[in-house]
């Protein structure tokens, strides 16, 4: 699978994922052997870097944990510096089924959208394996629905999965998300609204996602309260901008 003569990069931000990162990389390589898998090791305290290297991925390491958004931006800037026109991103915890990478890429490469977002809540149309129901905690599902509804109203387009990290984008979006406007911590519904207001076309694509077997989440402890406050503030600031 190539774009402009170069392999398509697959960005995976990872923090303490040594238990799953090898199986994630192997699952991708089995289906897409030409993809360049780029792991951004966000200051992991385990052997995420070593295992990713052994599995054949390119690894960029932060000296310490800088946050999910910063890890994404590191990968975005890497792709820009190497002249890539398309990028796919997914998480390193095994929740994202790599079978749907081709569907996300097709949405971008055919020009139907600038940003393709994999949604765990859309039904498959039969061209891909049938999506199994995704189960989430009540609080997490309520948050998804709340900010999905807000994003839908503001961009006048249905948004079912505003927290999805399973995405594909073209170079114009890559340039935008590499700027200082991109959130360093939780880039979710606010980024969708920002990109829409910047004139980019966004399309959700049905994908399969699985529950995290360790029930680990970046929204644990007091973080959900901060996340809600931050997201409302970020959306408000976005609406104030020209």
Q: What is the pLDDT of residue 200?
A: 98
**pTM for the complete prediction?**
0.86
How would you write the pLDDT of the chain (242 residues) with one tens digit per residue?
544 456 799 999 999 999 999 999 999 999 999 999 999 999 999 999 999 999 999 999 999 999 999 999 999 999 999 999 999 999 999 999 999 999 999 999 999 999 999 999 887 554 444 455 555 555 666 777 898 999 999 999 999 999 999 999 999 999 999 998 888 777 889 999 999 999 999 999 999 998 876 655 554 555 777 778 888 888 888 887 76
* Burial degree of 72 (CB within 10 A; 0-12, 13-18, 19+): buried
Q: Give the helix/strand (H/E) hosting 89.
A: strand 86-89
Which sign, positive or negative, has the C-alpha torsion 70, 74, 80, 84?
A: negative
233-238: Cβ within 8 A, 24+ apart: 234/183, 234/190, 235/150, 235/154, 235/189, 235/190, 235/193, 238/190, 238/193, 238/194, 238/197
The answer to whether the beta carbons of residues 160 and 121 sit under 8 Å apart is yes
Q: What is the pLDDT of residues 179-236, one digit of tens each?
A: 988 887 778 899 999 999 999 999 999 999 988 766 555 545 557 777 788 888 888 8
Distance of alpha carbon 163 from alpha carbon 155, whole angstroms: 16
**What does each C-alpha distance from 209 to 41, 151, 159 come to in angstroms?**
22, 21, 17
Q: What is the pLDDT of residue 126?
A: 40
Phi, psi dihedrals of residue 33, rounded to the nearest 5°: -65, -20
Please count the other Cβ atoms lying within 10 Å of the Cβ belonging to residue 215: 8
Q: What is the pLDDT of residue 144?
A: 77
Q: What is the pLDDT of residue 177?
A: 96
**What does each C-alpha distance from 40 to 37, 45, 65, 234 come to in angstroms?**
10, 14, 11, 25
Q: What is the pLDDT of residue 212?
A: 72
Strand partners, 195: none
Q: What is the pLDDT of residue 128?
A: 42
Alpha-helical segments (H) within 32-179: 48-54, 68-81, 101-109, 138-155, 171-177
Strand partners, 120: none
| 116 three-state secondary structure | strand
Q: What is the pLDDT of residue 205?
A: 97
**Topology annotation, domain 2-240:** Spore Coat Polysaccharide Biosynthesis Protein SpsA; Chain A (3.90.550)
* Overall residue count recorded for the chain in this entry: 242
Distance of alpha carbon 97 from alpha carbon 207, whole angstroms: 7
């Amino acid at each position: 699978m190539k774009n402009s003569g170069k392999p398509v990069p697959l960005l995976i931000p990872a923090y303490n994922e040594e238990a799953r990162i090898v199986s994630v990389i192997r699952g991708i390589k089995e289906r897409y052997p030409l993809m360049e898998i780029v792991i951004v090791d966000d200051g992991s305290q385990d052997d995420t870097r070593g295992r990713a290297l052994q599995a054949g991925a390119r690894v960029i390491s932060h000296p310490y944990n800088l946050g999910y958004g910063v890890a994404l931006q590191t990968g975005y800037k890497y792709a820009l510096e190497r002249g890539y026109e398309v990028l796919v991103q997914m998480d390193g915890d095994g929740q994202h089924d790599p079978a749907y990478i081709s569907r996300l890429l097709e949405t971008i490469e055919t020009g139907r959208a600038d940003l393709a977002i994999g949604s765990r809540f859309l039904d498959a149309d039969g061209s891909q394996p049938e999506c199994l129901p995704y189960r989430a905690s009540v609080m997490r599902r309520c948050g998804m629905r709340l900010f999905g509804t807000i994003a839908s109203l503001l961009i006048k387009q249905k948004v079912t999965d505003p927290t999805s990290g399973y995405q594909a984008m073209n170079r114009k979006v890559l340039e935008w998300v590499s700027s200082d406007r991109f959130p360093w911590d939780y880039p979710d519904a606010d980024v969708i609204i920002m990109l829409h207001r910047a004139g980019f076309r966004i399309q959700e694509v049905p994908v399969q996602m699985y529950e995290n077997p360790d029930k680990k989440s970046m929204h644990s402890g007091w973080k959900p309260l901060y996340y809600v406050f931050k997201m409302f503030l970020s959306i408000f600031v976005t609406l104030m901008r020209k």
